[in-house]
Amino acid sequence: MSKKRERLLVIDGIAANYSVAQKLLQGEGRDLFFLDSADDALDMLSVEPCDLVLVHDDGNLEISDRVVRFRQEKKAGFIIIGFSGSADEKTVTGKLEHGIDTYLRSDEYDTALQTAVETHFQMRDIISQKELLEAQLSQSYSLEHPLLESNSMEKARAFIQKAIKSDKHLLICGESGTGKEIIARIIHYNSGRRDRLFSSITSTNVESEQIRKRLFGEIKTDDGGITRTTPGIFQMTNGGTLFIDEIDKFDPEIQAEIFDVIENGRLKAVGSARVEPIDIRVVFSTVQNLEKALTGKSVDQRILEKTKDNTLDIDPLRKHKQEIIPLAETFIHKSAESTGKDIQGLSSEAMEMLLNYDWPGNHRELENIIERAVMMSDFGELTRDVFSIFGEKNTELVSRFAEEDLYGMEYLEARKILMDNFAREYFERVLRDEKWNITHAADRSGVKRQSLHEIINRLKIKKS
């Protein structure tokens, strides 16, 4: 399929600027139109769709206002960017409040023109890539998702069925790895918002001002007088669903601003005087259980009140140990199918190992471990040994089984298992550090190249 050509219209009363615009903007995949009259431009827009309209306001600051009114009346979808060397800050603020997407102040015509176009198309590419990814992801989040198959997910299934029929804001409680974002995605892709974007954000220990800009966007004028607009996640997800992970870790002031946005359906970007309409569904989450979230003070009480009849509390996996093996087998089937491997399930010793672990990372940790075990195996059952190669992150799982089982073995057998486990971790780290250069890894570890090849084959060490 050929890529859609981008159509740019420049409205500029100075005809001599045409050659500058042509030199800067004409290119592969773009059609450029240059008109020196607002009337002619509006006549063209009535019959010829465009993606971006650039309005040079010098000499007549009303031109961009006319284009904005035209877009509103025709409910057109093109982006409008104005620029002028004579507009003051008050004028720029007024333009933004009136509805223009971006307004640049610059005496340098070519700089303003190029900045406007490149900023627009960079953002357009990001959104296009996100839309493509979302289309691919939507196929993976059906109501038959493997996460929902277990008996413990009965409440979740009922919650999802209720949520996809409404447009209420939601709160999902549960430890890390219990599937909160997966459930939010399942709701989105089976709701009336399925054709719009799904986005997620977490506080990630970033200072409040940066989080505020990521959420609500920013309008900023640089030293050269060019005003740049950076949309936030609310603007980019407008019409869709926003998953706000661990809302309890956001600064209370930010939580209050988020509530105001969803309550009023409007927001102001950082540094902007313009109020933008926003239509978005928010799914909040917290690692606290529901009782603690409701009685604590870490979540804005107005958010709790807003979502009080639309909450879900997900149990940790350790409360449903009878579901560990069925879940593991589901993940084995999924990974084996995607990798084309003939994996037959779990050995009895591997099952015992998985059942004796508390799974602090819940479903996600189990799925990740199974995926890696399948990657490291070729065929047959997944055995206890394959789970011992995951290094530091999962040493508790291995050591807990070892404490309970190794002392029941003969000395030489127990020693061999421990030594093999150590050798795997040691050589995996050395190979990784040396980027799998066998010569360098052999020199560093003090073994011969041939011996290292034999160790790699015997312990089934694979490049990850």
Q: Decide if 341 contacts 379 (C-beta within 8 A).
A: yes
Three-state SS for 298? Answer: coil
pTM above 0.75, yes or no: no
* Confidence band of 125 (pLDDT split at 50, 70, 90): low
pLDDT digits (tens, 9 = 90+) for 229-247: 788 899 889 899 999 999 9
Higher pLDDT: 420 or 206? It is 420
The pLDDT assigned to 294 comes to 80
Least reliable range by pLDDT among 180-184, 405-409, 412-416, 443-447 = 405-409
Return the CA Rg of the chain.
Answer: 29
% pLDDT > 90, the chain: 18
Average pLDDT over residues 409-428: 74
Average pLDDT over residues 185-197: 90
Cα(336)–Cα(418) distance, integer angstroms: 28
Instruction: Concatenate the DSSP letters of all residues of 369-435 into one string.
Output: HHHHHHHT--EEEEPGGGGG-SGGGGHHHHHHHHHHHGGGS-HHHHHHHHHHHHHHHHHHHHHHHTT
Higher pLDDT: 87 or 134? It is 87
Torsion of CA 109, 111, 117, 120, to 10 degrees: -120
The pLDDT assigned to 138 comes to 59
pLDDT digits (tens, 9 = 90+) for 279-331: 999 999 998 887 888 888 889 999 999 998 999 999 999 889 898 999 999 88
* Confidence band of 389 (pLDDT split at 50, 70, 90): very low
- Which of 47, 67, 304 minimizes the C-alpha distance to 173? 304
The pLDDT assigned to 1 comes to 41
Least reliable range by pLDDT among 146-155, 337-346, 376-385 = 376-385
Least reliable range by pLDDT among 41-45, 113-117, 134-138 = 134-138
Residue 103 has pLDDT above 50, yes or no: yes
* Confidence band of 392 (pLDDT split at 50, 70, 90): very low
Higher pLDDT: 222 or 321? It is 321
The pLDDT assigned to 314 comes to 92
For 343, 363, 371, 379, 405, the CA distances from 331, given in Å and listed in that order, are: 11, 10, 7, 15, 26
Three-state SS for 271? Answer: coil
Question: What's the CA angle centered on 87, arms 82 and 91, to 5 degrees?
Answer: 85
Locate the DSSP E strands across 70-132: 79-84, 102-105
Domains and their CATH numbers in the chain: 6-123 (3.40.50.2300), 140-315 (3.40.50.300), 320-458 (1.10.8.60)
371 phi and psi angles, rounded to 5 deg: -60, -45
Mean pLDDT, all residues of the chain: 81
Three-state SS for 455? Answer: helix
